[in-house]
Amino acid sequence: MTMLSRVAERLFWMARYLERAEDTARLTYAYTHLVMDIPSGAEPGWDVLVRIMDAETSYADKYRVYNEQNVLQFLIADENNVGGIYHAIRAARENVRTTRDVLPEEAWEYVNELYLYAQEYAENSIGRRNRYQFLETIITRCQMISGMLLSTLSRDHAYRFIKLGGLIERADMTTRVVDVGAAALLGEDRHHSAVDPLIWACLLKSLSAMGAYRRQIGPQVEANSMVDFVLRDDKLPRSVQYCLNGMRKEILPLANHKPVLKLLDMARRKQSRFDPNTASREELHVFVDDIQAGLFNINSTIDSTWFQLDQT
């Protein structure tokens, strides 16, 4: 099967944006619950969510204070925040609109309905009164769209680029959550270490990994076990290792895959050699930075290998 590179690129980014909207909604939902459940004075600041998105600069361009109202406005309804829910859904819709002929008929209908819902309700879902219902609806509809695509598409190049986009976005979010959890939430100067298990549990919930962790590891969430689980478990769909393995599988049938394969195998080797149980927080931070740089290089190589072919 052959495919225009611009179509492949739009499918790839459609999947990235849908995954981004779902992941951001899930993270926001879990963190809001944490702030409400944790003892007063022990909770981390709302700036944590902005740092996870690596969006401090764009946030500072519009907002002066890191409070609940501003951060949730930025993450849920800001049209110009590329890591925000509304922006991601709008971008996903545009990519679906221009690739409708290679997608199931329902794809445009479902994504357009998601966009119209976000357009109508995002601004009114900043406050806690409507926030949970909005975030739950975003998560559910994104999952429905992903499930529909993966259960109806032929296993051809369109399917492979959609899978690649979703997996690389998911791996990126997982590394961000781990990095901020290690470097910001559990720094050495914390005075409320008794609530640290609640914080790590929140991060697990933001990755939809709490149930899997309890079945495989145990009921008590510990930092090293949690980090090892979401980085290196090859059966957890949101672990970095699972995503790297999945991307490797999808690129093999594609022509000219060797440059991307080389980067993926390099990242997989680094994963296998790293042990969170013996690493310091600084070593973990350096390792996660390295993995994120690797994901950036993988994305850039995917772009130059398959998306720039017929652009002159």
pLDDT, tens digit (0-9, with 9 covering 90-100), for 66-101: 999 999 999 999 999 999 999 999 999 999 999 999
Q: Within a domain: residue 203?
A: yes
Residue 284 located in a structural domain: yes
Classify residue 312: in a domain, yes or no.
no
- Decide if pLDDT at 184 tops 70: no
3-state secondary structure of 75: helix
Better-scored residue on pLDDT, 141 or 179: 141
Overall number of domains in the chain = 1
Does 198 map to a domain? yes
For residue 277, tell me if it sits in a domain.
yes
pLDDT bracket for residue 177 (50, 70, 90)? confident
Least confident interval from 41-45, 201-205, 295-299:
41-45
How far apart, in Å, do the first and last CA atoms of the chain sit?
23
The angle that helices 157-180 and 5-37 make with each other, rounded to 10 degrees, is 30
* Residues ≥6 apart with Cβ < 8 Å to 60: none
Enumerate residues 6+ apart whose C-beta is below 8 A from 239.
Answer: 174, 209, 229, 230, 231, 232, 233
The pLDDT assigned to 193 comes to: 61
Question: Greater confidence, 285 or 174?
Answer: 174
Residue 312's pLDDT is: 43
215 located within any domain: yes
- Is residue 180 one of the residues assigned to a domain? yes
Residue 234 scores a pLDDT above 90: yes
Which range marks the domain in which residue 38 is found? 5-307
Tell me the average pLDDT of the chain: 90
Q: What is the pLDDT of residue 188?
A: 46
Banded model confidence at residue 191, pLDDT cuts 50, 70, 90? very low
Residue pLDDT, tens place only, 259-301: 999 999 999 999 989 988 888 878 888 899 899 999 999 999 9
Residue 10, both tokens: 């739009």
